[in-house]
Amino acid sequence: MLRTSVVKEIWDIAKDVKAFRLERRFKFKAGQFVMMWLPGIGEKPFSLAWEDLIVVKRVGPFTSRLFELREGDHVWIRGPYGRGFEPVGGKVALVGGGIGIPPLYALARQNRGKFKRVTLIYGARSKGELAMMDVENFVDEVVVTTDDGSAGRKALPTDVLAGRKDEFDGVYACGPEPMLKAVLRVMDYGKVQVSAERYMKCGIGVCGSCNLGKYLVCRDGPVFDGSQLRGLL
């Protein structure tokens, strides 16, 4: 059901990245998403960073229009939808790239104290594109990588993961597909859950536009066990 919500607060997170705090709160599991509709523009999916929070990168007409909103404006939202992360406990790594941080932030915050130790391995092209939010308050260790070396290590997140993979009982990943593929290769598809991305139109498994092999990302994902994606990613 489509529901309206007032935008209570907007602030900058990183280059071309903004956070939008909504008046309406959603009961959700980290990794789930909502569909947001703007009249005359269309509808797009966004992972929930928290029960009243989405984080958006400007990449096209819809998000450009979203960036023009002001506090007090209305948006229309339905959901949450999809399959979220399943916490396994123990020592875990959260591996994020670019704008992949929101569902990992939600995972760390929802499960604070349930994991034995949480290491965030987070990469971006440069310092200005690191959308850190305040995730450091919910993890035990943060390892930052940048392609150009302007912050943290000049490396890829998966370079760090490859050197430390034996430390972790579970790995959760969200980011660009090449990074997700690399995470799956490093972990040999085991002990890993990834949040996949495909073009979504309906969000409820009807239109089939988000197919990934035999799966529909909106219905069967967006979070998948690594073993499900063997041969697909």
Annotated domain spans of the chain: 3-81, 91-195
Q: Is the pLDDT of residue 125 over 90?
A: yes
pLDDT at position 166 over 90? yes
pLDDT reported for residue 92: 97
Q: How many CB atoms lie within 10 A of CB 179?
A: 22
Q: Tell me, what's the pLDDT at 13? A: 94
User: Which pairs with CB-CB distance under 8 Å and at least 24 residues apart come from 88-91?
Assistant: 88/169, 88/170, 88/191, 89/114, 89/115, 89/116, 89/169, 89/170, 90/115, 90/116, 90/168, 90/169, 90/170, 91/115, 91/116, 91/117, 91/118, 91/119, 91/167, 91/168, 91/169
Mean pLDDT confidence for 11-26: 96
CA dist 226 and 185 (Å) reads 10
Tens digits of residue pLDDT in 170-210: 999 999 999 999 999 999 999 999 999 888 888 888 888 88
Q: What is the pLDDT of residues 77-86, one digit of tens each?
A: 999 999 999 9
Query: CA 155, CA 31: separation in Å to the nearest integer?
Result: 26
**Preceding peptide of 222 cis, ω within 30°:** yes
| Residue 168: both structure tokens together | 């972790």
CA dihedral 29, 31, 36, 41 (to 10 degrees): 180
- Whole-structure pTM value: 0.95
Q: Read off φ and ψ for residue 89, nearest 5 degrees.
A: 80, -170
Contact 80, 28 (CB under 8 A): yes
86-100 pLDDT, tens digit each: 998 899 999 999 899
CATH 2.40.30.10 fits 3-81, yes or no: yes
Lowest mean pLDDT among 24-33, 49-58, 104-113, 130-139: 130-139
Residue 201 Cα to chain centre, angstroms: 18
Q: Which CATH number fits domain 91-195: 3.40.50.80, 3.40.50.620, 3.30.499.10, 3.60.15.10?
A: 3.40.50.80
Per-residue pLDDT reduced to its tens digit, 110-120 = 998 899 999 99
pLDDT in tens, 126-149: 999 999 778 889 999 999 999 999
